[in-house]
Amino acid sequence: MRCRGLGVPTRVQRNRGGSWTLVSEGDPGFRVLAPSPVPGLCLPQIATCNSRNGNPVPQITWYRNGQRLEVPLEVNSEGYMTSRTVREASGLLSLTSTLYLRLRKADRDASFHCSVHYRLPTGRHGRLDSPAFRLTLHYPTEHVQFWLGSPSTTAGWVREGDSVQLFCRGDGSPTPEYTFFRLQDQEEDVLKTNLEGNLTLEGVQRSQSGTYGCRVEDYDAAEDAELSKTLELHVAYLDPLELSTGEELSLPLGNSTAVNCSVRGLPTPTLRWTKDSVPLGDDSTLSLRSITFDSAGTYTCEASMPTVPLLSRTRSFKLLVQGPPELRAEEVQPKAEGSWREGDEVKLICRTRGYPEPKLSWSQLGGSPAEPAPGGQGWVSSSLTLKVTSALSRDGVSCEASNPHGNDRHVFHFGTVAPQTSQAGVAVMAVAVSVGLLLLVVAAFYCMRRKGHRCCRQGEKGSPLPGEPELSHSGSEGPEQTGLLMGGASGGAKHGSGGFGDEC
């Protein structure tokens, strides 16, 4: 830090002993002497501030937390300061101010410093501030706090197997020594002594439940100060659940039974039965009456503790219901009897359940292997896709489910099956096309036989070829011959050489 006084440069430097001195030639200087630790609540000498080689004599003021301390020069029980001026051999003046103050516990965090105020030749005023310092206060313990750290619950429970921390804090300075103990049969069993005030219990067990204490070893404390605290450690535990049946329970269809779930834990756990995550009841006993195939499935007993989160257990068993097959048949896109036609495609589905699992079979080939049906509940299904025929209309199609306890059968009927009309129309069209092609081939063949002669002459008769019969145009010939050679009744004589109507 640098400043100016009487036109001569000045600086503040720190001495080996920890004090601060303002050094200048002919300027005021000051030194702050911070005291050694203050031993208790008394009226001690806080610090000394020196200003050297100044003229005229400067003024020294004291500050706490940035606020000026209004302390008099007269001695009193709350605080005062003393001031001493010395004329140096150089003729300059040095000022020493010492602060005495009654300290309180709140001053343990306070910041102190002094300031030197001096006049400059130009009529202005200068000021130099010392670096701030803090005090180390010693005071006895008045209060002790002792508490259970994480992971405890609001009710003070910890889970068996967790690591638990105990914290102890006293308000004395310097930090006192802490002794942790456990009360057993009215006697203290010392667990640990340290200055940190922390005790960790690794993997606590139910046997470690009990009363724990912390004591602050502060021999400067008042006789009536309460230096010891205790608390109760509650270790929560939950043993594995026990069921009155094994992992599987097999019963005949229509029977009744009861399954008991027993549990041991602290605090007292609550029980709940569920089936496929659906709640059934909060009693320890599960009653099943007149069971059906719908009763089959996995049942779970759940134990939990509302006051101790994440501490819970479950135990399950599987109920198997023995009985003959139950069969359900389904026709995809069904039609009424009599609405089926030859060649229509149909998909048939059969579903069954029972225990042991039934086998599905079809009266026709092509059925798919049985597999679990959508929706579960023990159903399996098989499908068959085929074309409807008149034979099926007489016999139908059947599926059968069977297991050691019995069997069940369903027959799909289609009624009267009509012929496929669309197929007859296609056949007629094919015959007509074939006849037309045959006529064209015959006409082409006839013309090729007349190769070398004009096939068609207009206005005159042609001489017949050797070996061929003479054709008559009297109209007395049959219609088939005329149609073949002339191309029509009003043929080619009127239309020139336009087709079979020409004379050949």
395 vs 127, which has greater pLDDT?
127
In a domain, residue 443? The reply is: no
Measured in Å, how far apart are the chain's first and last C-alpha atoms?
Answer: 140
Place of tokens 């203050």: 38
In a domain, residue 208? The reply is: yes
In a domain, residue 448? The reply is: no
Residues 334 and 315 in one domain: no
Under DSSP, the state recorded for 106 is: G
pLDDT band at 24 (very low <50, low <70, confident <90, very high): very low
Residues 281 and 346 in one domain: no
pLDDT band at 239 (very low <50, low <70, confident <90, very high): very high
pTM: 0.58
The per-residue pLDDT for 479 is 39
The per-residue pLDDT for 8 is 30
pLDDT band at 389 (very low <50, low <70, confident <90, very high): confident
Lowest pLDDT segment from 121-125, 270-274, 500-504? 500-504
Strand bridging mode 248-252 / 312-332:
parallel
9 vs 330, which has greater pLDDT?
330
Is 90 exceeded by the pLDDT of residue 228? yes
* Distant-in-sequence, close-in-space partners of 352: CB < 8 Å, separation ≥ 6: 325, 326, 327, 328, 358, 360, 370, 379, 380, 381, 401, 408
CA distances from 86 to 25, 89, 366, 395 (A): 16, 10, 124, 137
Distance of CA 435 to the CA centre of its chain: 78
d(CA 484, CA 478): 10
Residues 228 and 296 in one domain: no
**Mean pLDDT along residues 293-322:** 93
Is 60 exceeded by the pLDDT of residue 388? yes
The per-residue pLDDT for 440 is 87
Residues 39 and 128 in one domain: yes
Residues 327 and 271 in one domain: no
Is 80 exceeded by the pLDDT of residue 232? yes
- Final residue of a domain: which of 66, 101, 134? 134
Is 60 exceeded by the pLDDT of residue 101? yes
| Structural domain harbouring 107 | 2-134
In a domain, residue 139? The reply is: no
Count of domains observed in the chain? 5
**Mean pLDDT along residues 176-195:** 93
Q: What percentage of the chain exceeds 90 in pLDDT? A: 44
Residues 28 and 104 in one domain: yes
Other CB atoms within a 10 A radius of the CB of residue 402 amount to 18
d(CA 268, CA 16): 69
Q: Which amino acid is at 408?
A: D
pLDDT, averaged across the chain: 79
pLDDT band at 432 (very low <50, low <70, confident <90, very high): confident
In a domain, residue 447? The reply is: no
Residues 107 and 151 in one domain: no
d(CA 116, CA 26): 15
**Mean pLDDT along residues 362-373:** 84
**What token pair was written down for 482?**
């005329």
